[in-house]
Structure 1
């Protein structure tokens, strides 16, 4: 699943309602995300825990350095496979 450009509380409400569409995936494409807040990160954490519970390895594809930094600051980066970061050259 490819997310839109924002992963903030407003989008989280909609994504949570539609989670049956994407919740069973082991990887999420975040390459278009330019804005993430703590609600967005919390959604990713819940998804990662669901993936881990079923024996998968959650992977955030194309995650920006900001997403990696926020996950590290909140102490949850270890839930994800090494985050495939998007660089400024990408």
Structure 2
């Protein structure tokens, strides 16, 4: 598997984990998917696909989603490392 494909795979795993945590936060806040979709400014169908980790969110949508369910995404918790195949 190439480094680029491996990086994409890692992103999907991390995103699926984050989506699950945000889904739990939505349920704990007793919000419906339709409520959060409206707050985020996307369709219910698109939001359902986000919660299922079927599509990749934009940064704006991801942060709006977290805010809508009373959560905060802390960028300092996200590590950044150079890609193995990145140009110098």
Fold match (TM-score > 0.5):
no
TM-score, scaled to structure 1:
0.30
Higher relative contact order (CA 8 A, sep 6+): 2
Query: Which is strand-richer, 1 or 2?
Result: 1
Structure 2 length as normaliser, TM-score?
0.31
